[in-house]
Amino acid sequence: MKRFTTIALVALIALAALIVPVSAVEATVEVRSEVFNGTDFADILNNVTVGNIVINTTNFAGFWYDIDDNLKSEELTILNNSAYVSGNAIQEGGLWYNASIVQANYTGDFAAEADVTGSDNTTFPLIGLFAEKYVPTDDADASELVKLLLDTDDKYTLRTGSALELAGGYELTAKQIDVEGDKVWMELSKDGEFVEDEVIDVTGGEATWDYDVDVGDQDDVIVFRVLITDVFQGQVDSLAVVEGLWLLDYENILEIETSDEFGELEVDAVSNVIAMFNSGTLTLSVDKDIDLAEGMKLVTADDANDDLRFALVKEYTDAGTYEVRGSVAEGNGLHTWTPSNFAGFWYDIDDNTGSESLNITVSGTTVADEGGLWYNTTIVQTDYEADFAAEADVTGSANTTFPIIGLFAQEYVATDDADASELVKLLLDTDDKYTLRTGSALELAGGYELTAKQIDVEGDKVWMELSKDGEFVEDEVIDVTGGEATWDYDVDVGDQDDVIVFRVLITDVFQGQVDSLAVVEGLWLLDYENILEIETSDEFGELEVDAVSSTISMFNSGTITLSADKEIDLAEGMMLKTADNSTVRFYPFVERTIGEEMVVDDSGVGEEVTEEMPAEEEVTEEVPSEEEVTEEMPAEEEEEEPAEETAEEESPGFEAVFAVAGLLAVAYLVRRN
């Protein structure tokens, strides 16, 4: 029987490997610094005003910044010294990265920490490291760090038995509520395992629960704080209100010592400041990503003249919402943002082209009057990422470019090269390489999928199908006899006929020992079913359209007050954030999200809770916790779409069941023999 079980498991694992979906949907957020541009380092350094090339919170939104107290931690410097930089190269010791500990305010209004007096009950030590937020276990020593997972004063209402999902696999659960005694029994868990619990008395109106443990060489380090502001009984549920959360990834300690290496950087010294330098030569040749450390990299342009153009980029891959901000403005006068100082705006580093600009005139110290804000965006021709074949019936350079326009920090494509009145969102533009098995689907953005239906290896042809939300859109037999081929799908969009909305570059087809495969090395896709029409006098949030041609111009149709501690929605997710004080300090920003945000899991709502409320002084209970394709290859000249039933036959699920049954049957016969 053991042999049968083993064979069955192997069969199931093999099947699972075959049906893992392939995805071309982007799951990263990149934040870019100011762009430095010149023929070489000497040329760039000759034009900087501060002597060295300095990247800090002023010109790089990736570094941590507290707008309220104007706090910053990180800085990267490239020295203006011919001994360290020459041509396109940074010699050893020519690049320095420093990160300093600062005292930051908690976002939540937590009660005073136990046994702490003075201002320390409202602050904690924070250090930015490689554009991530860490907390030192010692206020003046950065040698032991833990990541800051959560610092928020957002409001959450928890039903008894419901779990609030936090970062890092942690959850906060309102176990029970004693309404008469104004108490709530809270539990902190991680990955379903009990961590700690506490009965919190909110008789005084609100209360803070601090959970502390020994971390590294430090004793009694507070690693979790929660602020409970109210408990009450509704008609059905007992509820607890949370208005402050702070959490550290205290089980994972980052220890830093002199001579430690992080990617291309080596630690020179550690105290309340971490100082690092490049331990080897960094050559910034064209079209190159140089990984410095922990997702922070130098990116260079694919410049046709081999000039040096580069920026510092931080790439985020973890699920969460990331703020991409522009440079910080302060005081009266005209403040301007372009792709150079606002990483949210679209920018092509290869061609050094952008689309958007924002101008705000602050007068009267706090007010941008009507017409004091102008937002402009212009159509530009940009290159496809992939080397697609020439578009049909198009000559000249237009076969390698398309009309793009940034709008509220999103990428759109104009249906007319010189008219921005009809726009569709750009969903995908990539030259990444994907290998598709016959019958397998490549998941694209917007619910679209690309499937390699069948491959005629002898004829170097592949039958491809584009679908959306499981519904057939179009298919094509693509002949790659010449080595590669482009399939363009065009439709009528708005007032324009035959607009190309999807492009795919097939570079090879071949037969392996088991599978027939097609290689894709270029994808371009528009959200062509959703047309954004723009006319004069249209309103987008606080902005009104003044004119539309190849450029869209908008202005604020009402007064915008830059009062303290405010997030002002300008339009379509583009916002302004102001400091929490009397200083007129603000910046524009957009948010980018990977995965899902923190949510309350209400799966326990309505279930009867039977545990007894424990006494406050004795809380001791721990809670235990690819399928066979049978359709005929259509003739290349046939343009009829396959029957709708044929597309539906490929719905996943039933084939997997039959395949599992077949594999188990084979395993059984092997065992009998």
3-state secondary structure 610-641: CCCCCCCCCCCCCCCCCCCCCCCCCCCCCCCC
Q: Looking at the whole model, is its pTM more than 0.75?
A: yes
Whether 90 is in a domain gets the answer: no
Which pLDDT does position 638 carry in this prediction? 44
- Looking at the fold, whether 423 and 338 belong to one and the same domain comes out as yes
Query: From residue 170, how far is each of 1, 153, 250, 329, 442 by CA, in Å?
Result: 41, 17, 12, 37, 33
Measured between alpha carbons, how far is 67 from 643 in angstroms, rounded to an integer?
Answer: 59
Number of domains in the chain: 3
Which pLDDT does position 393 carry in this prediction? 54
- Looking at the fold, whether 456 and 545 belong to one and the same domain comes out as no
Closest to 335 (Cα-Cα) out of 36, 567, 587: 587
Contact, 298 vs 312, CB < 8 A? yes
- Looking at the fold, whether 471 and 403 belong to one and the same domain comes out as no
Which pLDDT does position 364 carry in this prediction? 76
| Residue 522 neighbours by CB under 8 Å, 6+ apart | 384, 385, 386, 387, 388, 430, 431, 486, 503, 504, 505
- Looking at the fold, whether 344 and 405 belong to one and the same domain comes out as yes
Which helix (H) or strand (E) covers residue 268, if one does?
Answer: strand 265-270
Closest to 525 (Cα-Cα) out of 397, 407, 422, 385: 385
Which pLDDT does position 577 carry in this prediction? 95
Which pLDDT does position 399 carry in this prediction? 66
Output the CA angle 476-482-484, nearest 5 degrees: 60
DSSP state of 342: B
Contact, 626 vs 21, CB < 8 A? no
Count Cβ atoms below 10 Å from residue 110 Cβ, excluding itself: 23
End position of a domain, from candidates 594, 623, 640: 594
User: Which residues sit opposite 309 in a β-bridge?
Assistant: 37
Query: From residue 553, how far is each of 343, 379, 381 by CA, in Å?
Result: 20, 12, 19
End position of a domain, from candidates 549, 578, 594: 594
Q: Please provide the DSSP assignment of 179-221 as one string.
A: TTTTEEEEEEEETTEEEEEEEEE-TTS-EEEEEEEEETTEEEE
Which pLDDT does position 663 carry in this prediction? 46
Whether 396 is in a domain gets the answer: yes
Whether 10 is in a domain gets the answer: yes
Whether 436 is in a domain gets the answer: yes
CATH number where 357 lies = 2.60.40.4190
Whether 449 is in a domain gets the answer: yes
- Looking at the fold, whether 550 and 523 belong to one and the same domain comes out as no
Measured between alpha carbons, how far is 254 from 305 in angstroms, rounded to an integer?
Answer: 43
Closest to 281 (Cα-Cα) out of 417, 131, 558, 94: 94
Whether 635 is in a domain gets the answer: no
Whether 368 is in a domain gets the answer: yes
End position of a domain, from candidates 552, 575, 594: 594
Which pLDDT does position 179 carry in this prediction? 74
Closest to 71 (Cα-Cα) out of 138, 127, 137, 152: 127
Which pLDDT does position 6 carry in this prediction? 45
Which residue ranges in the chain fall short of pLDDT 70?
Answer: 1-26, 49, 114-121, 391-399, 596-673
- Looking at the fold, whether 422 and 538 belong to one and the same domain comes out as yes
- Looking at the fold, whether 396 and 437 belong to one and the same domain comes out as no
- Looking at the fold, whether 518 and 662 belong to one and the same domain comes out as no
Query: What is the number of residues in the chain?
Result: 673
CA torsion sign for 626, 632, 637, 640 is negative
- Looking at the fold, whether 449 and 433 belong to one and the same domain comes out as yes
Quote the distance between the C-alpha of residue 125 and its chain's center: 26
User: Which residues sit opposite 268 in a β-bridge?
Assistant: none
Q: Where in the sequence is the domain holding 662, given as residue range(s)?
A: 2-19+657-672
372-423 confidence digits (pLDDT tens)? 999 999 999 999 999 998 766 554 444 689 999 999 999 999 999 999 999 9
- Looking at the fold, whether 406 and 334 belong to one and the same domain comes out as yes
Which pLDDT does position 458 carry in this prediction? 81
Measured between alpha carbons, how far is 30 from 614 in angstroms, rounded to an integer?
Answer: 48
- Looking at the fold, whether 512 and 583 belong to one and the same domain comes out as no
Phi, then psi, of 445 in degrees rounded to 5: -75, 160
Count Cβ atoms below 10 Å from residue 2 Cβ, excluding itself: 7
Whether 493 is in a domain gets the answer: yes
- Looking at the fold, whether 512 and 548 belong to one and the same domain comes out as no
